[in-house]
Amino acid sequence: DTEGLLRIKEENQKHYRRAQRHQEKKEKIQRHNRKLGDLVEKKTYDLKTQHEHLADLRRIRILELTSVIFPIGEVKTSMRDPADVSSESDNAMTSSTVSKLAEARRTTYLSGRWVCDDHNGDTSISITGPWITLPNNGDYSAYYNWVEEKKTTQGPDMEHNNPAYTISAALCYATQLVNTLSLILDVNLPKKLCNRQGFASCVSLCACCFNSEFCGENLSRHRFMRAVKKLNANILHLCFSQHVNLDLLHPLHTLRNLMYLVSPDTENLGR
């Protein structure tokens, strides 16, 4: 019994010494974890600071881009409400007729159906200048109607007066701006839209140096609408990535959505 007791005491001493070593290792690991925790916290703060600094730089570059090269804004049109004009010419017109005329003015026939558009006829959105605009309601039928009419009619050349060229130019500039914004914001676009430089040595954003789907040959209605849908999808994707207020967006309002995206009031622009 005495010999057994001595053996147990020796084993207990060994376990005690081993427990001390394990305790020392445990304390060492805890100190190492605390150091790593402090380092991770510091790195996280530095990363957050760098993200904020990068967001500020992106925001500055975007505001410079949209104020110098691609300014976007509303262009007011001096159109009078048909209800007002008609009521002045006919004093006997009933109030119901006036209201029906006003309602008709706020309605647009778009892609085979009637849609309500409160801004119809009041404003249009311009890009790069007040002379290059897009309809506020997203109705670009003037373009493919002109293309189809040009194929069937033989008449005097009045292309310089056709609004289809304005629509094409505005969509071309919008495509350039969207692709440039995707590079600045480091956001991959869901739809690939052709817009590449034609000359390797060209470093400017001049429209003549780009080959865009909206510039060059006249597009058929199907190809034109397909390109417009891809452009609208890319713009909405950028708006979602920058947390633009969803109540302001409309899937058909190309330049208006882009205007909300690059607006200085967009709090998360550059994130």
What are the residue ranges of helices labelled H in 65-220? Answer: 82-89, 95-105, 141-152, 163-185
Most distant CA atoms of the chain, gap in Å:
127
* Residue 171, domain extent: 55-77+97-195+207-262
For residue 72, tell me if it sits in a domain. yes
Banded pLDDT at 27 (limits 50, 70, 90): very high
> Does the pLDDT at position 110 exceed 70?
no
Chain-centroid distance of CA 229 in Å reads 13
Say if CB 146 and CB 199 are below 8 A apart.
Answer: no
Q: Is 107 a member of any domain?
A: yes
Residue 11 domain-assigned (yes or no): no
Cα radius of gyration rounded to whole Å, the chain = 32
| Whole-prediction pTM | 0.66
Q: Does the pLDDT at position 43 exceed 70?
A: yes
Q: Is residue 25 part of a domain?
A: no
Place of tokens 């607006």: 263
Residue 88 counted as domain residue: no
Has residue 201 been placed in a domain? no
The residue type found at 42 is K
Chain mean pLDDT for the chain: 78
Q: Where are the beta strands (DSSP E) in 173-230?
A: 195-197, 210-212
Please report the pLDDT score of residue 165 as a whole number: 82
Give the residue, 219 or 199, on which the prediction is more confident.
219
Asked whether residue 125 is assigned to any structural domain, the reply reads yes
Residue 37 forms part of a structural domain: no
107 in Cβ contact with 116 (< 8 Å)? yes
Higher pLDDT, 151 or 186: 186
Q: What is the mean pLDDT of residues 5-24?
A: 91
Domain total of the chain:
1
